[in-house]
Amino acid sequence: MMDCPFCQIARHQAPAQIVYEDDRTVAFLDINPVSRGHTLVIPKGHYPDLFELSPGDWQAVALTAQRVAKAIKAGLGAEGLNLLQSNGPVAGQVVFHFHLHLIPRYRGDGLRLGHRSPYREQDFPETARRIREAL
């Protein structure tokens, strides 16, 4: 997509602090980081979300994410790391090009991700059944 900011980064037509690139993926620093080293990994091909992402590009993103996560740990001394990936506006997706957040974690960083909703135990079997049937 011509006006997609992440496609522009992948084509080197928009500025970004790229930390890694290969033939299928690009990893670059998030311009609104949650923590030091917060990095996005994207496929070079345009996919709006996980639902549209090809299996091959999903695998490429996963391999790049692992490689970059290890570099974040070694290079920045991160003690942990969260992966975050959102699909659709209701999930908080803002840029509609699939991207995986690598969020480094540091002891005492005070970062809290999300909150848990109460879920009744009796709902589990029906929920699982519906997912299995859709597969």
Residues involved in catalysis: 99
**Burial track 108-135 (b if 16+ CB lie within 10 A, e otherwise):** eeeeeeeeeeeeeeeeeeeeeeeeeeee
Sign of CA dihedral 122, 124, 91, 132: negative
Would you state the structure tokens that stand for residue 129, as one six-digit string?
């059944």
Q: Are 74 and 30 in contact (CB under 8 A)?
A: no
